[in-house]
Amino acid sequence: MTRDDTGTKGARGGVGVALPHDSSRLHVRGEADYTDDIPEVRGTLHAAIGLCERAHARIVALDLAKVAAAPGVVAIATAEDIPGANNYGPVVADDPIFATTLVQYHGQSLFAVAARTVRQARQAARLAAVQYEDLPPILTAEAARDAQSFVLPTERLVRGDPRRAIDAAPHRLRGRARMGGQDQFYLEGMIAYALPGEDGTLRVHCSTQHPGEVQMQVAHALALPVADVVVLCRRMGGGFGGKESQPGLFACVAALLARKTGRPVKLRVDRDDDMVMTGKRHDFVTEYDVGFDDAGRILGIELALASRCGYSADLSGAINDRAMLHSDNCYYLENVGIVSYRGKTHTVSNTAFRGFGGPQGMVGIEQVIDDIARHLDADPLAVRKANFYGTAERNVTHYGQTLVDNVIHPIVAELEAASEYARRRREIRAQNAANPYVKRGIALTPVKFGISFTATHLNQAGCLLHVYTDGTLQLNHGGTEMGQGLFIKVAQVVAEELSVDVDRIRITASDTSRVPNASATAASSGSDLNGKAAQAAARTLKARLAGVAAQHFGVAPEAIAFRANRVHAGDRSLPFAEVARLAWLARVSLSATGFYRTPKIGYDRKTWRGMPFYYFCYGAAVSEVIVDTLTGENRVVRVDIVHDVGTSLNPAVDMGQIEGGFVQGVGWLTTEELWWNDEGKLMTHAPSTYKIPVASDVPAEFNVRIFESQGNAEDAIHRSKAVGEPPLMLGISVLHALRDAIAATAGYTLSPRLDAPATAEAVLASIDELRARRAQAPAAARDASQASAKVAS
């Protein structure tokens, strides 16, 4: 990794330079402005939302007299106060801002209140007298599937003849993988600050990955032209998908109260309420039926995916689609049938979370592989390799996209060597045989993740770039900053293009009045899309400035070169700033827009065939765990990762994304447990009951390598690859290392039944179950996992 901050063209911070995050100094000094830090305008009111206390019920009566009479209360808003649509659904119109006759999850919003202080607003919001008529709730993915309760139609994707292939296979297993949801746990909670402007216009500062959508949601709710609403976001304190579609509720409520009172209104959601009211990662139950040969090669497979979407569609369609499209992970499935049930439950509407269904698809197939390996008493890594996609053959995905960039083989080869997988696996087995209580486990799992929004039309971006006459620049694009380092990467692209120091570029807040109709910053495509749009804008300006310089030097524009903050014509040169000033004097525009749309992609969602993804990201991880088999307590002792980022735009930022993504994935699969009670009330709504990883959970030995790549095979920005989401799925290696350690407690004769999250409690239960199974039925020792039965073949 380069520590030299000079780019290829002699200016500070072009592409490929390991610059720190542009706001890192502000972050550590507490000087970075988040939405709540914006100085409050005089007269600002504070809002709170009144939540319902039933999972599924009819509202018989809603009495707000006590709310209205509470100290400090200035206004109340209910559905009747909404001049436009009582809805903020991003895709389907099934998300009411305020429930009116029916409540569909415990915590759904009923009304809102604006008061002089935050505390007054929150206290008043609890004073509503609500009468309910209870209805039976459906709470789990399986219950929803069994009741045929769906937010969207069931989808099926088939290639080949899975049924026949399974029946004809030498071996066959059935099993089930369950994986929990996950709260995004962004450190900055949901917040919106709405400021009424003249003539009915509105400005909303909002912590959102998708300012353009918030703008539309607010406009529709208030029956305003979209052009009358401006939404701004300088940065988020984390989004992780949680702020892709759901900030709209809070923005609409703040805007509605601002409209009603004529005063600025800020809605900062309490942490517990935020966890109750906002959607999480979808939990999934995946059932499989697989036929395979003696080498563990999958000949035919059927997968049934059931997810808990919550009460509304939100982004569940695209999330479940992505789960289907990632049910292969790195494996060639010649004969495959996938059915996907999108369960409607009376729980909060689940939403985007880093990986967006991809992780759930992969956890399913990885368990299939592990069960096959344990059934055959083979190294799971050997079974993984036997099923890998090829490079010249066996390289077409189940949706018909040919892999042209498959680098999983060299990545795994490099990782195996670097981690000394084979030697350590042998040693661990020997140690485990000698040690009755403490068991170690090791696993290598691969990742292949498709880059592009699966909704093809979203793969577009715009940029607005200004040069001022002192040679400084302002950069604005449709992307948002949530800590992932998008803004510095895009600034590096501009610095590279114009050969100017990156610190001359002022990075500005995402702003719907500067770049309109931008997509969410999501699908890991932020730097791909906005980087290309910014490059286009910079090239336009460069051509104009080259024209001005050519005139000045009396040469052809082709003879002009930009290097190290200067504009050159042979051995003569001018400072970049001087050329900008000359352009201004010559009345040449110093402002340009740029636009980009991803080429090549497109697929037919009816037949599930085509090219949903522009390219794929690959990586692999080896994790080693140590488990106390008397308590289930465990630690990750060592992790080795090799991950492909193409030609990195910024290796320091990419390294942070790989490490952070991995740790977040481990949290999902081990300690983060969401628990609803039988009434459908979320009981884990604070860090006291919901355990996210902290610094001390980072593996003691953590070796992360960026794969020495030839660069992206596709023409992505400077041949880089997206990095935001894929590393999260490297965390699956820890789940499998735990499975390996648990398997040791029964002499590696059985496949453990272990659901995610594999909490210490779950690990202990799994060990007990495994030992009981072995004691009970030694003859059927080679049973597969999870209520699976060995089916006679």
Q: Which residues are part of the catalytic machinery?
A: 725
Considering CB distances under 5 to 8 angstroms, the limit depending on partner class, which of ligand MOS, ligand MTE, ligand HPA, none binds residue 527? ligand MTE
- Cross-strand bridge partners of residue 628: 438
Query: From CA 365, how far away is CA 354, in angstroms rounded?
Result: 19
Q: Which of 22, 155, 213, 244 binds ligand MOS (CB under 6 A)?
A: 244
Tell whether residue 557 is a contact of ligand MTE (CB under 6 A).
no
Query: From CA 80, how far away is CA 192, in angstroms rounded?
Result: 21
Q: Which of residues 350-379 bind ligand MOS (CB under 6 A)?
A: 352-354, 356
The smaller minimum CB distance to ligand MTE, of residues 240 and 331, is found at 240
Instruction: Report the number of secondary-structure helices (H) and strands (E) in the chain.
Output: 19, 29
Considering CB distances under 5 to 8 angstroms, the limit depending on partner class, which of ligand HPA, ligand MOS, ligand MTE, none binds residue 717? none
Q: Which of 482, 507, 758, 767 binds ligand MTE (CB under 6 A)?
A: 482
User: What burial class does residue 588 get, using C-beta atoms within 10 Å of its C-beta: 0-12 exposed, 13-18 middle, 19+ buried?
Assistant: middle
For residue 63, the tally of other CB atoms under 10 A from its CB is 12
Q: Which of residues 498-527 bind ligand MOS (CB under 6 A)?
A: 522-523
The smaller minimum CB distance to ligand HPA, of residues 523 and 706, is found at 523
Tell whether residue 596 is a contact of ligand MTE (CB under 6 A).
no
| 421-434 vs 408-419: helix crossing angle, rounded to 10 | 50
Considering CB distances under 5 to 8 angstroms, the limit depending on partner class, which of ligand HPA, ligand MTE, ligand MOS, none binds residue 654? none
Considering CB distances under 5 to 8 angstroms, the limit depending on partner class, which of ligand HPA, ligand MOS, ligand MTE, none binds residue 482? ligand MTE
User: Residues 566, 578: contact at Cβ < 8 Å?
Assistant: no
Tokens of 729: 């799925």
Query: From CA 771, how far away is CA 766, in angstroms rounded?
Result: 9
Length of the chain as a residue count: 793
- Cross-strand bridge partners of residue 507: 475
Tell whether residue 209 is a contact of ligand MOS (CB under 6 A).
yes
Tokens of 578: 């001087």
Considering CB distances under 5 to 8 angstroms, the limit depending on partner class, which of ligand MOS, ligand HPA, ligand MTE, none binds residue 526? ligand MTE
The residue whose Cβ lies closest to ligand MTE is 526
Considering CB distances under 5 to 8 angstroms, the limit depending on partner class, which of ligand HPA, ligand MOS, ligand MTE, none binds residue 21? none
DSSP state of 519: P
Considering CB distances under 5 to 8 angstroms, the limit depending on partner class, which of ligand HPA, ligand MOS, ligand MTE, none binds residue 315? ligand HPA
User: Residues 684, 675: contact at Cβ < 8 Å?
Assistant: yes
DSSP string, 49-88: EEEP--SSEEEEEEE-HHHHHSTTEEEEE-GGG-SS-S--
At which residue do the structure tokens 């390294």 appear? 655
Tokens of 450: 């498709």
Q: Which of residues 486-505 bind ligand MTE (CB under 6 A)?
A: 486
Residue 316: its H or E element: helix 316-325
DSSP state of 105: S
Q: Which of 329, 340, 454, 521 binds ligand MTE (CB under 6 A)?
A: 521
Q: Which of 208, 312, 525, 712 binds ligand MTE (CB under 6 A)?
A: 525
Backbone angles phi, psi at 16, to 5 degrees: 90, -5
DSSP state of 337: E
For residue 522, the minimal CB distance to ligand MOS (Å) is: 3
Tell whether residue 104 is a contact of ligand MTE (CB under 6 A).
no
Which parts of this chain interact with ligand HPA (CB under 6 A)?
244, 315, 318, 322, 352, 356, 453-455, 458, 522-523
Using the contact rule CB under 6 A, the part of the chain among 11-19, 228-236, 348-356, 427-435 near ligand MOS is: 348-356
Considering CB distances under 5 to 8 angstroms, the limit depending on partner class, which of ligand MOS, ligand HPA, ligand MTE, none binds residue 486? ligand MTE
For residue 136, the minimal CB distance to ligand MOS (Å) is: 32
Size of the site for ligand MOS (CB under 6 A): 10
The smaller minimum CB distance to ligand MOS, of residues 241 and 450, is found at 241
Residue 298: its H or E element: strand 298-310
Rounded-to-10 torsion of CA 477, 480, 483, 484: -70
The smaller minimum CB distance to ligand MTE, of residues 120 and 484, is found at 484
At which residue do the structure tokens 């699969």 appear? 669
Residues that bind ligand MOS (CB under 6 A): 209, 241, 244, 352-354, 356, 522-523, 725
Residues that bind ligand MTE (CB under 6 A): 238-241, 354, 482-484, 486, 521-527, 657, 660, 722, 724-725
